[in-house]
Amino acid sequence: MIKRRQFPKSLVILCLFAALGIDLVNPQVVAQTSIKTSFAKSVAFTCNESEASIKAKNGPKISIGAKTIYIGYQQVSSQNQDPRLIRFDNGVRKWCRSDYETTIDDGRGYGLLWDGSNVLYGVFSSTGSQPGNDFRRFAKNGWLSSYGNGGGAKVAVIARINPSNGSILSATFVTAKKPNDGKTNSLAVTNLSWNGTTLKVLADSWWSPQRADKNSMSCTGSSPYKYTAIFTGDLTKVNSASAVNCK
Residue 210 backbone dihedrals phi, psi, to 5 degrees: -110, 140
Looking at residue 12, its pLDDT comes to 41
- Per-residue pLDDT of 63-97, as tens digits, reads 999 999 999 999 999 999 999 999 999 999 999 99
**CA-based angle 26:228:160, to the nearest 5?**
65
Which distant-in-sequence residues (6+ apart) come within 8 Å of 84 by Cβ? Answer: 45, 46, 47, 71, 72, 73, 74, 96, 97, 98, 109
Neighbouring C-beta atoms of residue 188, cutoff 10 Å: 20
Q: Dihedral (C-alpha) 102, 104, 110, 114: value to the nearest 10 degrees?
A: -20
Q: How far apart are CA 25 and CA 69, in angstroms?
A: 28
Task: Please check the confidence at residue 242 and state whether its pLDDT lies above 90.
Answer: yes
- Per-residue pLDDT of 132-185, as tens digits, reads 999 999 999 999 999 999 999 999 999 999 999 999 999 999 999 998 999 999
Task: Please check the confidence at residue 14 and state whether its pLDDT lies above 60.
Answer: no
Mean pLDDT within 215-219: 96
Neighbouring C-beta atoms of residue 213, cutoff 10 Å: 7
Handedness of CA 232, 235, 238, 242 (dihedral sign): positive
Give how far Cα 116 sits from Cα of 60, 70, 74, 173, Å: 15, 13, 25, 25
168, 138 in Cβ contact below 8 A? Answer: yes
**Span of 5-14, 175-184, 222-231, 238-247 with lowest mean pLDDT:** 5-14
Q: How far apart are CA 46 and CA 76, in angstroms?
A: 10
Residue among 54, 83, 57, 81 nearest 68 (CA): 54
Looking at residue 13, its pLDDT comes to 41
Looking at residue 33, its pLDDT comes to 52
Looking at residue 10, its pLDDT comes to 44
225, 244 in Cβ contact below 8 A? Answer: yes
Q: Which amino acid is at 220?
A: T
Model pTM score? 0.87
Looking at residue 20, its pLDDT comes to 39
- Say if residue 6 is exposed, middle or buried (CB neighbours under 10 Å; 0-12, 13-18, 19+): exposed
